[in-house]
Amino acid sequence: MFNGTWINERGGAMVLHQREDEITGQYLTQIGNSAVVGKTHRIVGLANGMTVGLVVAWPSAGSLTSWAGRLELPAEGGATLHTMWHLVRPAQAADPAREAEIWESFLTNSSIFRRISV
């Protein structure tokens, strides 16, 4: 159900392989920390019907992103994966200088992936 190449609105791409409920593959980001942009990283996850959970570790950036998503298969064709993602990273230096708050280590947003090939 989740097999294929998926592209999101920020230029991120993932190639997913599903075997029963297990998902493996590769993820390529075009945004974020320069240590990870343009480099392929391993993605793993679990599927449960039309829902999925995915995780990518970014070792060179010391961070990790997880996605929870729901697959939409419209009658007219195509496949869309609507996701909510969370990224956790090391605390960032504050401006003006002050001790970083733990909540500043987390980013949350949404992404929509469209399957471009199976």
Buried/exposed code over 20-59 (b: 16+ C-beta within 10 A; e: otherwise): eeebebebbbeebeeebeeeebebebebeeeebebbbebe
pLDDT bin (cut points 50, 70, 90) of residue 95 is low
Q: What is the pLDDT of residue 93?
A: 67
Higher pLDDT, 56 or 103: 56
Q: Which domains does the chain have, with CATH numbers?
A: 4-117 (2.40.128.30)
The pTM of the full predicted model, rounded to 2 decimals, is 0.90
Q: Supply 38's token pair.
A: 């343009």
Q: Render pLDDT for 2-20 as a digit per residue (tens, 0 to 9).
A: 999 999 999 999 999 999 9
For 9-23, 32-46, 96-110, which range has the lowest pLDDT when averaged over its residues? 96-110
Question: What CA–CA distance (Å, rounded) separates 105 from 91?
Answer: 5
